[in-house]
Structure formats: C-alpha cells, structure tokens
Amino acid sequence: MTGRAVLVTGAARGIGRAVATAFAQAGDRVAVHYGSSADAAAALVAELPGSGHVRVQAELADPAQVQRCVDEAADLLGGLDVLVNNAGVFVAHPPLESTYEQWQAAWSTTLAVNLVAAANATFCAVPHLLARGGGAVVNVSSRGAFRGEPACPAYGASKAGMNAMGQSLAVALAPHGIRVGTVAPGFVQTEMAREVLDGPGGDAVRAQSPLGRVAEPHEVAAAVLWLASPEAAFSTGTIIDVNGASYLR
C-alpha cells in the first residue's frame, strides 16, 4: 500500500473534513471518523482523491468505542502512521445564566469528548504507531485555551488540557519515534461557527484579526499536515497558533 495510514476524528465536516482532504491530496489513505453523520462521512470518503479511504464510527465519550474505532481504522488501513485528534464539542454554559444541572452536564460532556477521548485515542493508537516504527499525533486545540471562553469555560479548559497532554506525551513518546504536536485555531469558517459569523456579531469577530477575517479550514489543515510530516520531527511538543494574530501569547 502506498502513502501513510491516517485516522482523523470528527472528519465528516469542518476542520476535520479539510484535514482529511489535505492528507488524501498528499497521497495518504484516510480513515474518516464520524459520530452520527454517517452520510456526510460516506460522501467524503467517496470524494477524497486517491484510493483506500474508509470510514469508522464511534461515540468518542465511550472509551470502549474509541478503542474499537482506532483498532478498526488500523485494521482497514493496514496499520496506522498518523492520528489527528480533531473531534470536539462546544456546549454553551455561561456561569451566571446556567443551572447547576446544566453546568454539570456541560463539563461532563465537554471534557469527555474534547480531552479524555483524545487521550484515549492516543493511548490506543500508540501500539499501532510503534508497530510502524513511529509516527505522529496531531491535536486540534483552540486559542480559547489561552484567551479564555467566558460563555463556555469547559471548552477552554478542555483545550488547555489538550495542550498540556500533547506536550507531556511528546516528551514520553519521543524516544520511540512518535512525535506529538498541536494546532490552536481561532475562529474558522465552518458550519459550527456559521451562526456567529453570519449573525450581528460576525463583523466584530472578523475584526479581532488585523487581517479582517477568520481562518479557512484548509489553512488549519495545512498546519496539521505539516506537523505530521517528517520535516516537523524536531517540532514535537509545539503548539502552532492559527488565529490571524487575533490573540498573541
């Protein structure tokens, strides 16, 4: 088989779709993970350039399903060289407007999907990466880990946790030929952000960047693709900001 074997979580739409497309365009074989968007995942697999692409399903909040998904992807692709932890949820729960029950539910769901699932997927991917002599894990975080998310503090916390997890694993796995990097986008022109960007506050969001716009999904995908490349081997542990200078740290 030619090309690398790549698993992208949350690949049916948005950033994940762009990431899957970028790897396929580079000649890699992609496992498109989806939770409930089976039709969108199937359509993407059919549209990706090249051959050998597959789709795999899992509810990422369930650790057993995560393990099954990673193992199934490796089996269908004939191994695994790259894992992209892209899937995530954004559940609004402003602290002064939420009930305690809503607060608890938002934290539980957000951490389970955004952080714990990524940790579990990475753990399950490591044996497959080791079997290939090494590989790469790329996490898709957010500028919210640094600037804060006042209406969704669990989201900001989950992404900050993802950043710290990625750096810890970069140190732990480097001696085994596995590099770990993270991309932290700002606002991106996706379906998830459409309500905000097309609404009355859209211009204010775009004005956060001196470029006067938000990122396109392919711009985030380009950073992910580079971090997974051999050329980025010495950049293991890094966090790349893709936010158009809307937040500097």
**Positions marked catalytic:** 155
- Strand pairing report for 239-242 and 178-185: parallel
- Are 85 and 163 in contact by the 8 Å Cβ rule? The answer is no
Burial of 76 (0-12, 13-18, 19+ CB in 10 A): middle
Largest interatomic CA distance in the chain: 54
Q: Which runs of consecutive H residues, i.e. helices, occur in the chain? A: 14-25, 38-47, 63-77, 100-111, 117-131, 144-147, 153-173, 191-197, 202-206, 217-227
